[in-house]
Amino acid sequence: MSSTKGYLWSLTFFLTAAIYGSIPTYLIVTFWQWLNSLTFDGEPIYTLTLFVLFMWIISLIVTLIYLVAMVRAIIQRKNEDLGIPKGVKYFGLVSTLIIVGFMIVWFILFQQIAFFSMTRPIL
């Protein structure tokens, strides 16, 4: 059972890494030009752009953490303890379930894929 437990956790960690890597990257690429065109009293809002860039870098670091946890879960699958902290395990599991659930509900309601069907606001 512990061997399959390692594979199941690695699948969960892969989904978490895919979510935290793809959604923010897609949104940054799609909205970067619009974000840089925002102004306040004729001046660009660089603080907002830097904050969004910072959050994107954080999401990429979280993605790397979960990719490492995925590999570690597979390598240590025969051990009773996978060696992965409980906070990493359950944050990945809960956040993946919430985001996947949100995307399923969004698709059922609107027939569009959540996050990837967003368009720029009209100013």
Residue 81 CA to its chain's centroid (Å): 26
| pLDDT tier at 86, thresholds 50, 70, 90 | confident
DSSP strands (E only) in 26-110: 39-40, 43-44
For the chain, what are the domain ranges? 2-110
CA distance 118 to 111: 13
Inform me whether the pLDDT recorded for 4 exceeds 90.
no
C-alpha dihedral, 14 to 68 to 51 to 53, nearest 10°: -80
pLDDT score for 57: 96
Mean pLDDT, range 34-62, rounded to an integer: 91
Give ∠ CA 48-46-122 in degrees, rounded to 5: 65
> What tens digit of pLDDT does each residue of 25-34 get?
999 998 888 8
